[in-house]
């Protein structure tokens, strides 16, 4: 029996899926990416370094902030620059806003319908009007954080090499702080709703990879945690291998020849002890026991992270709104005059997992660039999961259509970003 | 009661940020959905497609053969086709490759195996099919979109006013970025965005494309004298959203 899903809806970008089921065993499970190649890694060569972050934010309309900031971090890494504390804190706020808006879009509008068998969000909205209202309010805050700090919610404007171009208005940050405090209870309510959903029963061991930090739940900065060991992003990249998938246009990534998982579930595995109190409480309420080798729980992990990000936003805003916010715009002449180390690596936790920028730069001009997206990393793991999908609880009793629905549900649980995967 | 218009929100190759911008309207968008019938909107549903659209909103550029085929079908089944965002209107950053020499060499540098990967010259939607209305920007201004789409569902096709970004710029009488020595293209670029870039101390780089009747030589001269750019640097800015050919066309039109 052949399973073929032509257009997988409710993911970012276009993809389809094929597999054979031979005597109840899933074989040759392949995701086919159907985006045009935009050649971002080619068009940036020979361009000025400071142009790169603006252009690469256009790789993804759902997670433009993380592409923008990771590209800046790569340049700053090459030039040995460290943005001032205020700029760093504000960039961290932008990342929190980014994760809140991306996760709430995925949680509510992409994934939730799968639990109820709804084929359109209109059914979901009619069935849960109050929840829709809450999810929209939560998402609005994520957008507002990026807008207030970044100048615009999609394709941010204020970051620059070495810091920020401009400080947000203190009054707006205070307003934001107030909003976050008001909305935090809604995130907890939504988290409880996601705890009580019935997650499909599936188990396949894998390796969870994410940034980690001794000081906080790592998003903006940190070292790579791979099982028990910790390595620098640079070392990590030397141990990974990118290769073209069967669709040619999207790459896959393996670590020491094995697939691995990045994203919310991976971060929760590696850094749960660093979660903020309310997020931790919800995790305890869920009675989940690590390790959780069930990728469907990536959805619940995102719900927990939304709470964490709200708490973290409140924490950072309380810290920064105590006095006037001063930022001095770093000038291009300043960093371009510094000796560059040629290679620069940036790594940040995007909503969907660790995003890497590995660049070579000479006299301010980009010589080479490699972008390794979370979805490119997750695709190999997802295909390995699908290859063993016959182990899904109750699989043999499902009709062909039900099997296709469960496959789509798993693909969506990964929250793949196809336009990121192709770039 | 009048029948609700059938709307499709469709995506070709792009970042999908313009669809996200529509989503960012939040409650207003959800309310809007009750006034229309959804023909196709993959981000929110997986129902079978319908035969005809009253209004098709298309973001992105058709790069793969399949996308080119699809765009033609979309045109055939739509009464009104709206091109949404910089990619659909002027080509988007994916068009940069067409200005950078050998585009197949570029492809080979990225993919060891290039068989089966389409790599045509990038074209805006209006270069492929008839477009009834363009809503430009990278991303679109969601407020402008909302205003326009509410007119379109009532049967009107509004025109975007031909004025420069400078007119909407909060810095126009003081702290003009160009006068401060930054490479700002606000004077030749089409307004309607609300000038978020200069508001954030970021020079306009013309994502909405040019307004009609610009004086490119005067713009270039100002960029050289005020911002100290050379010809190559000016060209590179004009390439960022694929708008360079549009700028050349609009020059003294």
What CATH number is associated with residue B105? Answer: 3.40.50.700
Q: Which H, E and C letters describe chain B, residue by residue? A: CCCCCEEEEEECECCCHHHHHHHCCCHHHHHHHCCCEEEECCCCECCCCCCCEEEEEEECECCCHHHHHHHHHHHHHEEEEEEEHHHHHHCCHHHHHHHCCCHHHHHHHHCCCCCCCCCCCCCCHHHCCCCCEEECECCECHHHHHHHHHHHCCCCCCCCCCCEHHHHCCCCCCCCCCCCCCCCCCCCEECCCCCHHHHCCCCCCCCCCECCCECHHHHHHHHHHHHCCCHHHHHHHHHCCCCHHHHHHHECC
Closest CA to A383 of A275, A258, A276: A258
Q: Is residue B73 part of a domain?
A: yes
* A120: β partners: B45
Chain B residue with Cα closest to A152: B196
Residue B18 is part of which domain span? 6-152
**Measured torsion, CA atoms of residues A164, A169, A170, A173, in degrees rounded to the nearest 10:** -80
Alpha helices in A162-230, H assignment, sequence order: 170-195
Domain shared by B29 and B139, yes or no = yes
What are the sequence ranges of the domains in chain A? 51-377
- pTM recorded for the entire structure: 0.97
Whole-angstrom Cα distance, residue B185 to residue B123?
23
**pLDDT tens digits, one per residue of A360-370:** 999 899 999 99
Q: Report how many domains make up chain B.
A: 2
Q: Is residue B96 part of a domain?
A: yes
Beta carbons within 10 angstroms of residue B152's beta carbon: 21
pLDDT of residue B174: 85
Chain A residues within 8 A of B139 when measuring between CB atoms: 61, 154-155
Please name the residues in contact with A112: beta carbons below 8 A apart, sequence gap of 6 or more. Answer: A124
Domain shared by B145 and B190, yes or no = no
Chain A contact present for B101, CB below 8 A: no
Per-residue pLDDT of chain A (423 residues; tens, 9 = 90+): 899 998 899 999 999 999 999 988 999 999 999 999 999 999 999 999 999 999 999 999 999 999 999 999 999 999 999 999 999 999 999 999 999 999 999 999 999 999 999 999 999 999 999 999 999 999 999 999 999 999 999 999 999 999 999 999 999 999 999 999 999 999 999 999 999 999 999 999 999 999 999 999 999 999 999 988 999 999 999 999 999 988 889 999 999 999 999 999 999 999 999 999 999 999 999 999 999 999 999 999 999 999 999 999 999 999 999 989 999 999 887 788 787 778 999 999 999 999 999 999 998 999 999 999 999 999 999 999 999 999 999 999 999 999 999 999 999 999 999 999 999
Say whether the ipTM exceeds 0.95: yes
- CA of B240: how far to CAs of A83, A412, B93, B143, in Å? 26, 32, 5, 24
Q: CA of B106, closest CA in chain A: separation in Å?
A: 6
Domain shared by B62 and B136, yes or no = yes
**Portion of chain B with pLDDT greater than 70, in percent:** 99
Confidence of residue B253 (pLDDT cuts 50, 70, 90): low
CB A384 within 8 A of CB A410: no
In the predicted model, is pLDDT for residue B252 greater than 80? no
Q: Which of B61, B112, B196 sits opposite A151 (nearest CB)?
A: B196
Domain shared by B57 and B140, yes or no = yes
**pLDDT tens digits, one per residue of A3-48:** 999 889 999 999 999 999 998 899 999 999 999 999 999 999 999 9
**pLDDT tens digits, one per residue of B193-219:** 999 999 999 999 999 999 999 999 999
Fold designation for A51-377: Cytochrome-c3 Hydrogenase; chain B (1.10.645)
Domain shared by B141 and B172, yes or no = no
Domain shared by B172 and B231, yes or no = yes
- CA of A9: how far to CAs of A19, A112, A220, A410, B243, in Å? 18, 13, 30, 13, 31
Beta carbons within 10 angstroms of residue B114's beta carbon: 16
Chain A residues within 8 A of B110 when measuring between CB atoms: 37, 39, 41-42
pLDDT of residue A331: 86
In the block, residue with structure tokens 């940040």: A348
Chain A residues within 8 A of B197 when measuring between CB atoms: 151, 157
Output DSSP code: residue A296: G
Chain A residue with Cα closest to B27: A136
Helix A298-320 crosses helix A170-195 at what angle (to 10 degrees)?
A: 160
């Amino acid at each position: 029996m052949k399973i073929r899903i032509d257009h997988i809806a409710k993911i970012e970008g276009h993809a389809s899926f094929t597999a054979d089921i031979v005597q109840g065993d899933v074989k040759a499970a392949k995701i086919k990416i159907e985006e045009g190649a935009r050649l971002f890694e080619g068009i940036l060569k020979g361009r000025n370094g400071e142009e790169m972050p603006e252009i690469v934010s256009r790789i993804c309309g759902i997670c433009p902030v993380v592409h923008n900031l990771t590209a800046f971090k790569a340049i700053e890494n090459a030039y040995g620059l460290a943005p001032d504390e205020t700029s760093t804190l504000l960039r961290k706020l932008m990342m929190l806003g980014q994760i809140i808006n991306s996760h709430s879009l995925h949680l509510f509008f992409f994934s939730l319908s799968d639990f109820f068998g709804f084929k359109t969000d209109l059914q979901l909205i009619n069935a849960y009007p109050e929840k829709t209202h809450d999810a929209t309010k939560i998402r609005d805050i994520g957008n507002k954080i990026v807008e207030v700090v970044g100048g615009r919610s999609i394709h941010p404007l204020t970051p620059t090499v070495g810091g920020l171009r401009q400080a947000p208005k203190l009054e707006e940050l205070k307003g934001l702080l107030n909003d976050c405090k008001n909305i935090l209870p809604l995130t907890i309510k939504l988290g409880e709703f996601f705890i009580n959903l019935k997650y499909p029963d599936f188990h396949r061991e894998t390796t969870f990879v994410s940034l980690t930090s001794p000081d906080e739940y790592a998003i903006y900065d940190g070292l790579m945690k791979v099982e028990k060991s910790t390595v620098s992003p640079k070392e990590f990249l030397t141990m990974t291998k990118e290769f073209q998938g069967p669709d040619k246009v999207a790459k896959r990534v393996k670590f020491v020849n094995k697939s691995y998982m990045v994203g919310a579930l991976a971060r929760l595995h590696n850094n749960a002890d660093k979660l903020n109190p309310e997020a931790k409480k919800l995790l305890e309420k869920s009675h989940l026991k690590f390790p959780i080798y069930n990728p469907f729980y990536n959805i619940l992990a995102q719900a927990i992270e939304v709470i964490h990000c709200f708490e973290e936003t409140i924490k950072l805003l309380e810290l920064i709104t105590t006095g006037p916010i001063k930022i001095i715009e770093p000038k291009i002449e300043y960093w371009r005059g510094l000796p560059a180390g040629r290679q620069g690596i940036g790594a940040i936790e995007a909503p969907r997992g660790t995003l890497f920028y590995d660049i070579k730069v000479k006299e301010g001009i980009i010589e080479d660039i490699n972008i390794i997206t979370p979805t490119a990393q997750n695709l190999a793991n997802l295909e390995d999961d699908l290859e063993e999908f016959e182990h899904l609880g109750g699989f043999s009793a499902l009709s062909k259509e039900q099997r296709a629905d469960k496959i789509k549900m798993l693909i969506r649980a990964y929250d793949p970003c196809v336009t990121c995967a192709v770039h | 009661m009048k029948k609700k218009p059938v709307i499709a929100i469709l995506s070709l190759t792009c970042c999908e940020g313009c669809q996200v911008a529509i989503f960012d309207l939040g409650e207003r968008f959800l309310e809007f959905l009750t006034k229309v019938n959804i023909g196709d909107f993959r981000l929110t549903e997986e129902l079978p497609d319908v035969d005809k659209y009253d209004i098709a909103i298309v973001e992105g550029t058709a790069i793969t053969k399949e996308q080119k085929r699809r765009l033609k079908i979309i045109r055939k089944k739509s009464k009104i086709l709206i091109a949404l965002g910089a990619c659909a209107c002027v080509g988007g950053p994916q068009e940069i490759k067409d200005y950078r020499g050998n585009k197949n060499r570029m492809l080979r540098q990225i993919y060891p195996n290039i068989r089966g990967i389409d790599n045509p010259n990038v074209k805006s939607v209006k270069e492929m099919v008839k477009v009834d209305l363009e809503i430009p920007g990278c991303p679109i201004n969601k407020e402008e979109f909302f205003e326009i789409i509410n007119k379109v569902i009532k049967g009107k096709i509004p025109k975007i006013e031909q004025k420069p970004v400078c007119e909407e710029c909060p810095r126009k009488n003081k702290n003009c970025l160009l006068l401060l020595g930054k490479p700002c293209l606000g004077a030749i670029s089409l307004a309607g965005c609300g000038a978020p870039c200069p508001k954030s101390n970021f020079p306009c780089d013309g994502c909405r494309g040019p307004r009609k009747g610009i004086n490119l030589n005067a713009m270039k001269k100002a960029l050289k004298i005020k911002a100290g750019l050379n010809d190559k640097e000016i060209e590179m800015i004009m390439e960022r959203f694929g708008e360079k050919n549009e700028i050349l066309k609009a020059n003294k039109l």
